[in-house]
Amino acid sequence: MDGIADMGGTEGWGPTHPPRRGERVFEEPWQGRAFAVTLLSQRVAGYNVDAFRHALESLDRAAYLDDGYYGRWLNAAERMLTRSAILAPGAIDARARNLRGEHVEEPPVPEPARPDYAPTAPGSLRTVDVEPAFATGERVRATDMSPAGHTRLARYVRGHIGVVELVQPAAVLPDTNAHFLGENPQYVYTVRFDSQELWGPDAEPFAVTVELFESYLEKTA
């Protein structure tokens, strides 16, 4: 899906700032707790990392941007727990209102509906019994698609031509894994795109490298 998370190549966000010297991992104590809560929620809900990313990208603009980086993690954690029926819709809001002394009725705890999912091996790398479809130095085109579900194919490279720089090991395909439809492992390719191919002749000349799954690519004529 083309959600708010797919921001690569869009304008109006200002410059990217390099990390500050001595920068802390968490600026505020609550951010560390949010990080821990999200990891725990992923396990409790029975989600994998791709399903978590899909929960993030399906947030609306306010939930993704206005609450900051770890705020969106909390919003995604709530979405995971609600989708798995660990939490009832509105349960967190009701609990927060009660903590403020409003005395509202909290929704009943639903019957859990965790996805029936178990990885075939640790991590995301897998072995496949076929040869890579593309070779180093080959010109390829990123497919021009707009799927309804999760994908890691960034919008700004879709339909554009690049060159394979590196053939990487096969890995679990996020597009299916995020929806618990199988791991469908595929080779991953580092593809180099020219900036003017992506953004037109007036773009500053530089190269962009993107890691793309095999099904994201097609041969050029």
The CATH architecture assigned to 1-112 reads Orthogonal Bundle (1.10)
Q: What is the pLDDT of residue 18?
A: 82
H/E stretch holding 77 reads helix 68-83
- Architecture category of domain 139-219 in CATH: Roll (2.30)
What stretches of the chain adopt beta strand conformation (E)? 139-142, 161-171, 186-194, 207-213, 217-219
* pLDDT attached to residue 200: 93
pLDDT of residue 5: 82
155: buried, middle or exposed (CB in 10 Å: 19+, 13-18, 0-12)? Answer: middle
| 102 contacts: CB under 8 Å, gap ≥ 6 | none
Radius of gyration of the chain (CA): 20
For 135, 163, 188, 212, the CA distances from 145, given in Å and listed in that order, are 23, 19, 18, 14
How confident is the model at residue 20, as a pLDDT?
81
**This prediction's pTM:** 0.88
Q: What is the pLDDT, as a whole number, of residue 183? A: 97
Q: 210 CB contacts (<8 Å, ≥6 apart)?
A: 154, 157, 162, 190, 191, 193
Alpha-carbon separation of residue 123 from 118, 119, 126, 183 (angstroms): 12, 8, 9, 11
* Annotated domain spans of the chain: 1-112, 139-219
- Assess contact for 7 and 72: CB atoms under 8 A: no
Per-residue pLDDT of the chain (221 residues; tens, 9 = 90+): 677 888 877 778 888 778 888 888 898 999 999 999 999 999 999 999 999 999 999 999 899 999 999 999 999 999 999 999 999 999 999 989 999 999 999 999 888 889 988 999 999 999 999 999 999 999 999 999 988 899 999 999 999 999 999 999 999 999 999 999 999 999 999 999 999 999 999 999 999 999 999 999 999 97
At 76 the three-state DSSP class reads helix
